[in-house]
């Protein structure tokens, strides 16, 4: 009898520990979606092996779609997490800067002709230039936030409004189209490898981020600036520079995501490319259980959050939900998350759990 009780309480402790873990939130959301799909239609998990029209082997199915389309979101979530942690605000211009970096890539690959037979420059060069450009735009946002002390959302509102026009201007308002099949590998498949390339790109970004966080003080400094700016300054950090740096890093993430986006269609449409992606990126950070007001962060949870959002999107598409209604469903998720993370709700919840616990103990004693 006693041992059974012990076991029970052991499980309780374990569960409690799990629930307290930050990564619990995205995992719980993922499980919820997974179970829902399993009940609704088990064929959701079917993965088939086939060939694409170029004759290369590919894996396809909903799960591959999630891995594929969730990847650019995961990349953005990396940068967005850092920005959120350091500044306590979000960058809402990522969609517009993706349009800019995407146009830069196409501009360099195409030269002056909007429909070239051959590429005018190596893809790597175009990508590196777009990285630099995106980082400059990131630096612009960062400078406004860090040195001019403008609220992040207001500062990035500038590029949010102007970005797509800048993107159109870069290509003289033309819509370049690239016919070289190599360029489509980044958003599609590399011949012979049946897993979508964006996933590999995202994995590479994750590994780099993991190494940087482990071997440099970036993570620690970002968190300390986010938690208490003035005390971290008194401890010899330069909060302004760290905020600035997080925006530049986000710029780099944007360039990588931009490459995937333009590669998917080998073209660009300035007004709609990566539309509303900032919503999803911020949501990924929130779903990862990170406080949107800055401070501590958990990168793994954010990345998982990004894939969970794509999971949600794909599920909704599968259910034939009107695509213009998707944001409404995502908004529900945001509301639930924000309400759950509000201090007053947390207090009430913990009080509630304590009550249950004490009742149980009371029973045991009785």
Partner 1 sequence: MKKKVLAAIMAATMVLGLAACGSKEAAAPAEAPKEEAAAPAQEEEAPAEAEEEAAPEEEAAPAEGSGELIKVGIINNDPNESGYRTANDKDLKAMFTEENGYEASFAYSNKNDEQISSAQKFIQDGVDYLLISAADTAGWDSVLTDAQNEGIRVILFDRVIDADESLYEASIVSDMAKEGETAVEWLKGQGLSEYNIIHLQGVMGSAAQKGRSGALDAAVESEGWKLVTQQTAEWNAEKAQQIVQSVIDSGESFNVIYAENDDMAKGAVAALDKANISHGVGKDVVIMGFDCNKWALEELLKQNWNYDGQCNPFQSSYIDEIIKTIQGGGSPAQKTIIMDEKGFDATEITQEDVDNFGI
- As given in the structure block, the two tokens for residue 166 are 């800048």
Q: How far is the CB of 140 from partner 1 (least distance, A)?
A: 20
99 near partner 1, judged by CB under 8 A: no
Q: How far is the CB of 339 from partner 1 (least distance, A)?
A: 29
Binder of partner 1 out of 27, 128, 177, 203 (CB under 8 A): 177
- The full DSSP string for 291-338 is -TTSS---HHHHHHHHHHHHHHHHHHHHTT--GGGHHHHHHHHHHHHH
Q: How far is the CB of 73 from partner 1 (least distance, A)?
A: 12
Beta bridge partners of 267: 177
Q: How far is the CB of 307 from partner 1 (least distance, A)?
A: 15
164 near partner 1, judged by CB under 8 A: yes
Q: Which of 104, 355, 144 is nearest to 254 (CA)?
A: 104
273 near partner 1, judged by CB under 8 A: yes
328 near partner 1, judged by CB under 8 A: no
323 near partner 1, judged by CB under 8 A: yes
Binder of partner 1 out of 175, 182, 335, 342 (CB under 8 A): 175
162 near partner 1, judged by CB under 8 A: no
199 near partner 1, judged by CB under 8 A: no
216: left (phi over 0), alpha (psi -120 to 50) or beta: beta
Angstrom distances, CA of residue 223 to CA of 83, 87, 88, 303: 10, 10, 10, 18
Side-chain half-sphere exposure of 270, counting CA atoms within 13 A = 23
Name the strand (E) or helix (H) holding 272. none
296 near partner 1, judged by CB under 8 A: no
Name the strand (E) or helix (H) holding 120. none
52 near partner 1, judged by CB under 8 A: yes
Nearer to partner 1, 267 or 341 (CB): 267
Q: Helix H segments across the chain?
A: 2-20, 24-40, 62-87, 94-110, 123-146, 152-170, 197-215, 218-227, 229-234, 239-265, 277-287, 299-318, 326-341, 343-365
Nearer to partner 1, 174 or 180 (CB): 174
320 near partner 1, judged by CB under 8 A: yes
Interface residues with partner 1 (CB under 8 A) are: 43, 46, 50-54, 58, 60-62, 65, 69, 115, 164-165, 168, 173-175, 177, 188-189, 261, 264-265, 267, 269-275, 313-314, 317-318, 320, 322-324
């Amino acid at each position: 009898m006693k041992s059974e009780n012990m076991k029970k309480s052991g499980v309780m402790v374990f569960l409690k520990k799990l629930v307290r873990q930050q990564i619990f939130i995205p995992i719980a959301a993922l499980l919820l979606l997974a179970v829902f799909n399993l009940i609704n239609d088990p064929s959701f998990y079917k993965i088939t092996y086939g060939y694409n029209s170029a004759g290369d082997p590919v894996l396809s199915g909903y799960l591959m779609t999630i891995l594929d389309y969730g990847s650019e979101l995961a990349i953005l979530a990396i940068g967005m997490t850092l920005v959120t942690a350091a500044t306590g605000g979000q960058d809402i211009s990522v969609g517009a800067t993706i349009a800019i970096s995407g146009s830069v890539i196409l501009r360099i690959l195409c030269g002056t002709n909007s429909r070239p037979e051959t590429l005018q420059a190596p893809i790597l060069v175009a990508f590196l230039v777009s990285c630099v450009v995106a980082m400059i735009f990131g630096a612009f946002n960062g400078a406004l936030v860090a040195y001019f002390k403008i609220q992040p959302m207001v500062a990035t509102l500038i590029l949010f409004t102007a970005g797509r026009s800048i993107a159109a201007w870069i290509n003289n308002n033309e819509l370049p189209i690239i016919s070289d099949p190599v360029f489509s590998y980044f958003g599609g498949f590399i011949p012979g490898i049946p897993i979508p390339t964006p996933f590999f790109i995202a994995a590479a970004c994750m590994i780099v981020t993991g190494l940087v966080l482990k071997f440099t003080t970036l993570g620690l400094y970002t968190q300390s600036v986010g938690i208490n700016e003035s005390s971290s300054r008194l401890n010899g950090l330069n909060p302004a520079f760290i905020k600035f740096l997080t925006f530049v890093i986000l710029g780099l993430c944007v360039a990588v995501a931009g490459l995937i986006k333009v590669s998917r269609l080998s073209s660009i449409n300035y007004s709609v490319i990566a539309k509303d992606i900032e919503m999803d990126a911020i949501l990924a950070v929130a779903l990862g259980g990170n406080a949107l007001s800055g401070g501590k962060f958990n990168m793994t949870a954010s990345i998982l959050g990004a894939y969970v959002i794509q999971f949600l999107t794909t599920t909704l598409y599968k259910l034939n939900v009107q695509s213009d209604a998707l944001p409404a469903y995502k908004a529900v998720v945001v509301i639930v998350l924000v309400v759950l993370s509000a201090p007053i709700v947390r207090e009430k919840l913990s009080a509630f759990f304590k009550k249950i616990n004490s009742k149980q103990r009371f029973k045991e004693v009785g």
